Amino acid sequence: MLDQKKNIGYLYIVQIANLIIPLITLPWLATQLGLSAFGVFGVFLVILGYLNLIIDYGFNLTGVKDVASCDNIEKQSQSLLSVIASKLILYIVVVVVVVIVRLFTNFISSNIEMFLLILGSLNAVINPIWFLQGIGKLPYASIAILLFRMASLPFLFIFVTGSSDLNTALLLQILPGIFASIYCLFIIKSKGFAITTYIGFTDVRKEFKESRGAFLSTAFSGIYGSSYIIIISTVLGVTTAGIFYAADRIIRAFQALISPLSQAIFHIISKNTATSNPSSKIFFIKWVIVNTIFGLAIFLFLLLFAESIIIQFFGAKYEDSINIIKILSLLPLFFGIQMISYMFILSHKKEVFVNYVYLTALCIFIPIIYLVMKYYGVMYGVSAIFTGEALISLLMLFYALKIINKMRYE
């Protein structure tokens, strides 16, 4: 319990710093790039996120569970390398697809953009944050990411001074993550874990088989959650996408304050489930309550200070972002509930339910959001986004509580 509190406390120090850094970098990018280029910046990162979803394939979630449920260093090392080898296969597929798209379509506008997509998706292969999470050493990854992001700040201020520096801004967004991942791999090796163990075809096939369910749920949720800016840029243009992206980044920065709770306790939930520990029910309910309290505090803060944040940091050009923040200000609360519930459901091997929830959301809410955006404008569309996210979170919570209720009688 002491290590758990220490980990969470450590992570919060890092996350507060990670909250401050976007408040420095985002206004600079927004003002220097301008509304349109800032919108393109956001769209590019969403596309990169889609590629990373394919490469991750749910390995990051099932890998945490596998590593956390055993204390054997050799087996944990084998799990690490099996996941990296599996991701490498998917990375090669992604690279081939990106090159083909560049050669035969106009979707990727330049060779530089193609290179940035290939480079950015490499981090999905080598990022070992899931492994450090599984062995309860997540602060190493968080601190590494923080330090490399801080190191990139001077370069951002020096080299990004206009809309023509969009590619430079994207490169500086990508490189800190890659350097942090390489550093974390060296940390893992220094802790006695092998990173050169032989991995066979059977190991890779096992990873793909075990992660299939988690991949579907993360893919559905990832596509659903990041489709908004694509819809806005398609229907309303990149300028409106830039306005939405500014508000969305502020919301996600505050959601990052919730993340340490979910990240730090996932390996505990996995261990409790693996050992059929009855305290897992109380543990889950306690952290849902803690998440709710944090979420309400963030909601009140954003409601009161949204205007000040936008005007002071982004300028009057982004004033339309204020109402978007206010509409979405409860999302960090629902995000916390959704993450804790999702991890609890996944630890009980019930990810099929999550797949159905997100597939239904993709089939129903995305078309609704698209139509609302097209015929009623961005504000009504944002309200539709909030409604969909809230319903998904509540469905996850009710299902997790259903599992708990069933456990009482077993």
> What distances in angstroms separate CA 395 from CA 142, 338, 341, 360, 361, one per listed residue?
30, 9, 9, 12, 11
Which residues, other chains included, contact 139 with Cβ-Cβ below 8 Å and sequence gap of 6+? 7, 10, 11, 14
For 190, other C-beta atoms within 10 Å of its C-beta total: 8
Residue 199 C-alpha from the chain's centroid: 28
Helix (H) or strand (E) holding 153: helix 138-159
Task: Give Cα 348 distance to the centre of its chain.
Answer: 22
Where in the sequence is the domain holding 99, given as residue range(s)? 2-407
* pLDDT attached to residue 129: 83
Say how far apart CA 132 and CA 128 lie, in whole Å.
7
Q: How far apart are CA 385 and CA 394, in angstroms?
A: 15
In total, how many domains does the chain have? 1
Q: Residue 285: its pLDDT value, please?
A: 80
**Residue 118 to residue 171: CA distance in whole angstroms:** 11
CB 60 within 8 A of CB 132: no
* Residue 310 in tokens: 């936008």
Please name the amino acid found at residue 206.
Answer: K
Query: What pLDDT score does 409 carry?
Result: 44
Q: What is the mean pLDDT of each run of 10 residues along the chain (410 residues)?
A: 56 63 84 89 90 86 75 79 88 95 86 94 89 77 83 93 93 92 88 69 76 74 82 90 90 78 61 56 79 89 91 87 93 87 78 82 89 93 92 90 69
Angle subtended at Cα 306 by Cα 19 and Cα 229, rounded to the nearest 5 degrees:
75
pLDDT at 178: 93
Tokens of 47: 């596309």
Output phi, psi for 409, to 5 deg.
-105, 10
Are 58 and 215 in contact by the 8 Å Cβ rule? The answer is yes
- Distance, CA of 174 to CA of 25 (rounded, Å): 14
Strands (E), 251-382: none
- What pLDDT is stored for residue 92 in this prediction? 95
For 340, the token pair is 């804790």
CB 325 within 8 Å of CB 309: yes
Categorise residue 127: left if φ over 0, alpha if ψ from -120 to 50, beta otherwise. beta
Q: What is the DSSP string of 181-231?
A: HHHHHHHHHHTT--SS----HHHHHHHHHHHHHHHHHHHHHHHHHHHHHHH
Q: What is the pLDDT of residue 2?
A: 47
Rounded to whole angstroms, the Cα distance separating 263 from 137 reads 11
Residues 6+ apart with CB under 8 A from 108: 98, 101, 102, 114, 117
Report d(CA 178, CA 140) in Å as an integer.
15
Q: Which residue has the tokens 């990508």?
A: 174
Question: What pLDDT, on a 0 to 100 scale, did the predictor assign at position 359?
Answer: 84
Q: Calculate the CA dihedral of residues 268, 272, 277, 281 and round it to 10 degrees.
A: 70
Longest pairwise C-alpha distance within the chain: 63
